[in-house]
C-alpha cells in the first residue's frame, strides 16, 4: 500500500502544473478542471479517510497529505469541512503508521476561508427564542468550530502547512495551528474577519501573536484586514521558507516531512508536546513537565538504536523505529 501510494503521488505531482501568479475569483478554466480530475484519479486515497471536503493520500512512507479539496469553490470551508477536519486529525493522531502530515490546497489557491453561503443559516440565523438562548447556542457553535483547528495543534504528529495563492480568513486560523509553514511566492495571507463584521474567533488572535512575536504587526493585520505577501510573511516569521511555485514548495514540504518521519517517533512527538507546553507555560513549569515526560520516555529503545547508529557512523535514515 505504501509503495502504491508513493508511486501514485509521484505521478500526481508530475501532472499538476505550477501555480500561476495572482488571484482570480472567477470560474476555473477547463484545463484546471481537467487537472483536478486527473489529480483525484492519480492519487491513492489513504485507508480509512474518505471525505467530501478533504482528500487524504499517502505521500511517502509514514507521511500523509491532507488536501483541502473543493477547488471549484476556492477551497471555501463549508459545514462538511469543519466536521471532517476533526474526524481526519483524530484518526491521524491514532494512526501508528503516520509520523508527519502535509496540508495543502487543491487547485489554484490554499483557501478563500469560510463558505459564507453554506454557513449563512448558522451565522445569521442562530437558534434560540431569546437573547440568552441565542447566546448559549452561539457559544457552543463557536467552541465546536474552534476544535476544527485545535485538533491539528493537539495531534502529536508534526503538521506542515504548504500554502500557495490566497490564504484568507479561516485559512490563517488553520495554518497558525500547524507546526511549520512553507509558502509559494504567489501566496498571500489575510486576517479577513473585520471585513465581514466580526472578530476572528477560531485561533488567529490567540496563535498569531505567539508566532510572529510582533504585537504591532498582528494588530495592524487584524484591524485592517490588509494582505500580507509572501516576502513579508517570511520576514515576520509567519512562514519559514518561500519557494518560487507550488510544485517546488510541495517537493520541499514532502522532503521535510520525510526527514521528520525518519526520526524516532517517540522523540519527535514528545518534542511537539513539550514545545506546545513550553509556549503556554513559564520556563520553570516547562522544565518540570519535560522532566516528568522523560522519566518514562528515556527508557525507549529508540535511544539505544540512535546512539548505536551514530557510533557506527550509519545514516540515521537506515534506523528502523517501531510504530507509535
Q: What is the largest CA-CA distance in the chain?
A: 71
Q: List pLDDT tens digits, range 212-243.
A: 999 999 999 999 999 999 999 999 999 999 99
**Domains plus CATH for the chain?**
44-261 (3.90.226.10), 265-318 (1.10.12.10)
257-290: pLDDT as tens digits: 999 999 999 999 999 999 999 999 999 999 999 9
Residue 320, pLDDT score: 92
Helix/strand/coil for 190: strand
Q: Which three cell numbers stand for residue 19?
A: 501555480
> How far is the C-alpha of 272 from the C-alpha of 280, rounded, in Å?
13
DSSP 160-188: EEEE-SEEETHHHHHHHTSSEEEEETT-E
Kindly report the pTM of this predicted structure: 0.84
Rounded CA separation 266/289 (Å): 16
Alpha-carbon distance of 17 to 295, in angstroms, equals 49
Amino acid at each position: 500500500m505504501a509503495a502504491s501510494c508513493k508511486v501514485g503521488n509521484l505521478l500526481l505531482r508530475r501532472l499538476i502544473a505550477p501555480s500561476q501568479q495572482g488571484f482570480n475569483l472567477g470560474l476555473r478554466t477547463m484545463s484546471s478542471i481537467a487537472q483536478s480530475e486527473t489529480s483525484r484519479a492519480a492519487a491513492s486515497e489513504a485507508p480509512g479517510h474518505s471525505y467530501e471536503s478533504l482528500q487524504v493520500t499517502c505521500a511517502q512512507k509514514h507521511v500523509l497529505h491532507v488536501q483541502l479539496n473543493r477547488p471549484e469553490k476556492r477551497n471555501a470551508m463549508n459545514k462538511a469541512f469543519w466536521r471532517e477536519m476533526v474526524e481526519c486529525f483524530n484518526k491521524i493522531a491514532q494512526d501508528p503508521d503516520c509520523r508527519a502530515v502535509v496540508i495543502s490546497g487543491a487547485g489554484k489557491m490554499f483557501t478563500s476561508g469560510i463558505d459564507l453561503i453554506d454557513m449563512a443559516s448558522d451565522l445569521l440565523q442562530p437558534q434560540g427564542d431569546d437573547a440568552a438562548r441565542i447566546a448559549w447556542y452561539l457559544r457552543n457553535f463557536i467552541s465546536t468550530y474552534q476544535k476544527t483547528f485545535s485538533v491539528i495543534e493537539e495531534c502529536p504528529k508534526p503538521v506542515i502547512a504548504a500554502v500557495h495563492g490566497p490564504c484568507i480568513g479561516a485559512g490563517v486560523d488553520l495554518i497558525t495551528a500547524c507546526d511549520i509553514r512553507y509558502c509559494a511566492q504567489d501566496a498571500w495571507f489575510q486576517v479577513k474577519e473585520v471585513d465581514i463584521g466580526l472578530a476572528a474567533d477560531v485561533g488567529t488572535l490567540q496563535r498569531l501573536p505567539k508566532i510572529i512575536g510582533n504585537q504591532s504587526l498582528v494588530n495592524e493585520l487584524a484591524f485592517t484586514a490588509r494582505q500580507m505577501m509572501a516576502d513579508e510573511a517570511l520576514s515576520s516569521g509567519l512562514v519559514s521558507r518561500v519557494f518560487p511555485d507550488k510544485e517546488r514548495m510541495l517537493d520541499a514540504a514532502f522532503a521535510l516531512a520525510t526527514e521528520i518521519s525518519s526520526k524516532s517517533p517517540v522523540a519527535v512527538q514528545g518534542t511537539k508536546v513539550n514545545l506546545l507546553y513550553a509556549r503556554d507555560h513559564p520556563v520553570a513549569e516547562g522544565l518540570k513537565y519535560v522532566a516528568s515526560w522523560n522519566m518514562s520516555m528515556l527508557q525507549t529503545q529508540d535511544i539505544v538504536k540512535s546512539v548505536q547508529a551514530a557510533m557506527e557512523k550509519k545514516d540515521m535514515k537506515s534506523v528502523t523505529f517501531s510504530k507509535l
